[in-house]
Structure 1
Amino acid sequence: MSQTSYLVGLIGSGIGPSLSPALHQREADRQGLRCLYRLIDIDTLGVPPEAVGDLVRAARDVGFDGLNITHPCKQLVIPHLDDLAPQAAALGAVNTVVFEDGRATGHNTDVTGFAASFARGLPDVPLERVVQLGAGGAGAAVAHAVLTLGAGHVTVVDAVPDRAASLAAALNAHFGEGRAAAAAPDTLAPLLVAPTASCTPPPPAWPRTRASFPAALLRPGLWVAEVVYRPLETELLRTARAA
């Protein structure tokens, strides 16, 4: 084992059941590293998401080497960082913070993670038109990933219309005008005449269960991808398989 140890953690809301500690510590063991991974749950601490900056500074001050950032702090953390890696800057979302030489640098590995998984699991599906549910930090990463993979057009649907519009505008600025558009949730039925559908976790305003997704909108001509890893099979995926 390496004699160097690493102290890292995860900041987010409702992260008690997270598998991140087990995942990262087991992989560290395989790489010959000593890693201690801690959960920093804002719900347990009784602080609002806007306190993420204070938590990042405290972690740096007490000797953390880095942090993972999850919902609902991926975008809120940005003003509290010293630097952003290019991909994080393009996305406007951070899921990893590295402390080095007294500075905090934000990164985003969601894009490469989704793109690699998609290429492995759905290598030959059509990408002309993609409908995406969710425009938060994870949603921004998935939208960038599918457009990078060659999607012709992405329609972003979110319970908060301004958030969908903002993401669509950012995608058009990055990938070219006309590559993305925002839509309201009640337009899902006509949208899903498209040959593809990509779904990310809904924002807090939506029910946390995927059972609320109308099963009648799913048909054999669509593919469905989720970015939720627990449970491994969501209600949406079960419904899609049944269709």
Structure 2
Amino acid sequence: MNAFASFRALGTEETLQLGLVGAGIAASRTPAMQEREGAAHGLRTVYRLFDTPLATPDDLGALVRAMELCGYAGFNVTYPFKIAILDHLHELDESARIVGAVNTVVLRDGRRIGFNTDLGGFTDAFAETMTGAARRRVLQIGAGGAGLAVAGGLLDCGVEELFVHDLDHERARLLVQRLEEQGRGRVRAVSSVEGAYDGIVNATPIGTDKRPGLPYPIERLGPETFVVDVNYFPLESQLIREAKARGCRTMGGAGMAVGQAVRAFSCFTGLRADRERMMAAFLALGA
């Protein structure tokens, strides 16, 4: 039984209830994408934000139980709960087991099933945007919840050597260890961002509206370097803007954001989402 069948069975067949749990998410574009895609499939979709910056692990569990009681089909999870949510789930999809973090939870037949659509969302966007780009040596900055998915996606897309830097050196080490346990020996942690790289990937909050700045010294970028920023607040970060000015091939956060939403919609409903339609909903909200 898919999630669509589950919410119909609860007697709420006219409304698909979804949500997003995170901190500082008031400007999220996910509600617009999911509600408009649901409408395109004839579903009255209500997508609510649960902005809970002070939530404890116990609070998180209580929130999940409340969603179940209210007939939710599922919810998305973002910073800072992508790892904490693991303790409140019954089952993990292969995508979540690989990454070790969850951004999508389906509530089905009394069970909570965790998925990671960030991984596939990033891979889809990177493969489309960076066709033909050199990827022998790539530096990823950031090893948090999003960083886990991004690192796996980069390796899936053929990066030969991946170097991971995080101000929390232990977090970078644990990310590398997790990938090595999966048989991926092409990644190692580095204590600085110095070195020559074919690509730079920002998977930190640096450069967002709330944490302006540059995660990488812009003067080190040459036109042959590709630059990725997984953030989309703002839609074009300072890093992406300045990399473009230097002639670099760039990829902003819109592609990954839409890609993960496309996959999440299918997890929730069992229906195939239209990527172009969801991108249009994303971009309709402006810069």
User: Does TM-score exceed 0.5, indicating one fold?
Assistant: yes
Equivalent residue, structure 2, for 1:163: 171
2:99 is the alignment partner of 1:121: no
Cα distance in 2, alignment partners of residues 203 and 160 from structure 1 = 14
What SS is found at the alignment partner of 2:38?
A: helix
Cα distance in 2, alignment partners of residues 123 and 113 from structure 1 = 16
1:38-53 superposed matches below 5 A:
38-43=48-53, 46-48=54-56, 51-53=59-61
Do 1:135 and 1:167's aligned partners in 2 also have CA atoms closer than 8 Å?
yes
Cα distance in 1, alignment partners of residues 56 and 168 from structure 2 = 20
Equivalent residue, structure 1, for 2:162: 154
Number of residue equivalences = 233
Cα distance in 1, alignment partners of residues 20 and 117 from structure 2 = 14
Cα deviation code 1:129-167 (max 9, x no counterpart)? 111011111111011011011111111111111110000
Runs of 4+ displaced beyond 6 Å: none
What SS is found at the alignment partner of 2:233?
A: coil
Equivalent residue, structure 2, for 1:183: 190
1:212 Cα deviation after fit: 5.2
Equivalent residue, structure 1, for 2:264: none
Do 2:193 and 2:216's aligned partners in 1 also have CA atoms closer than 8 Å?
no
1:22-171 superposed matches below 5 A:
22-43=32-53, 46-48=54-56, 51-171=59-179
What SS is found at the alignment partner of 1:7?
A: strand
Do 1:133 and 1:202's aligned partners in 2 also have CA atoms closer than 8 Å?
no
> Which ranges of structure 1 fall in alignment gaps of 5 or more residues?
none
1:53 Cα deviation after fit: 2.4
1:222 Cα deviation after fit: 0.9
> Which ranges of structure 2 fall in alignment gaps of 5 or more residues?
1-7, 247-287
2:15 is the alignment partner of 1:12: no
Do 1:158 and 1:203's aligned partners in 2 also have CA atoms closer than 8 Å?
no
1 or 2 for the larger relative contact order (CA 8 Å, sep ≥6)?
2
Cα deviation code 1:88-143 (max 9, x no counterpart)? 01111000000001000000111111111111111111111111011111111011
What SS is found at the alignment partner of 2:114?
A: strand
Aligned-partner residue type, residue 36 of structure 1: V
Cα RMSD for the two superposed structures: 1.9
Cα distance in 2, alignment partners of residues 210 and 109 from structure 1 = 28
Cα distance in 2, alignment partners of residues 126 and 54 from structure 1 = 47
Aligned residues: percent identity?
A: 38
Cα deviation code 1:30-87 (max 9, x no counterpart)? 12211100000103xx434663222222211222110100000001100110000011
Do 2:141 and 2:215's aligned partners in 1 also have CA atoms closer than 8 Å?
no
1:203 Cα deviation after fit: 7.4
When normalised by structure 1's length, the TM-score is 0.90
1:171 Cα deviation after fit: 1.1
Cα deviation code 1:2-35 (max 9, x no counterpart)? 9542111000000111111111101111122111
1:230 Cα deviation after fit: 2.8
Q: 1:212 to 1:129 in 2, by over 3 A?
A: closer
Do 1:210 and 1:234's aligned partners in 2 also have CA atoms closer than 8 Å?
no
Cα distance in 2, alignment partners of residues 153 and 212 from structure 1 = 20
Match of 1:218 among 196, 217, 221: 221
Cα distance in 1, alignment partners of residues 241 and 23 from structure 2 = 26
Do 2:82 and 2:103's aligned partners in 1 also have CA atoms closer than 8 Å?
yes
